[in-house]
Amino acid sequence: MEIRKNSTDVYTRFFIFSRTQMEEQKATAAKLGRLFKPKQVIVNGVAKIYTDIVLDKNNVRYTDAYVVTSGDIRGMKFTS
């Protein structure tokens, strides 16, 4: 049995960062009277900020978005 490692894998996720999306999240938190706390994913021992997790990197809502990291969601350490 061969296990495929590609973007159609059910466990593969893409951690995306978009400055536009982060500004929207900050504004929403401010309207609700909450403190904005960015989400983080650990990449090679270093915490990186992300704004969204998607199944397909081509299905991103923001034009300024880029992939922070990708991989099997079961082995990733992240905050939500």
The residue among 14, 11, 5 whose CA lies nearest residue 60 is: 14
Return the sign of the alpha-carbon dihedral for residues 17, 23, 27, 30. positive
What is the DSSP code (8-state) at residue 4?
P
- Residues 14-72: tens digit of each pLDDT: 999 999 999 999 999 999 999 999 999 999 999 999 999 999 989 899 999 999 999 99
Vertex 71, ends 65 and 74: CA angle to 5°? 125
pLDDT at 3 over 70: no
**Whole-angstrom distance, CA of residue 16 vs CA of residue 54:** 7
pTM higher than 0.85 for the full model? Answer: no
What backbone torsions phi and psi does residue 19 show, to the nearest 5 degrees?
-65, -40
**Whole-angstrom distance, CA of residue 4 vs CA of residue 63:** 29
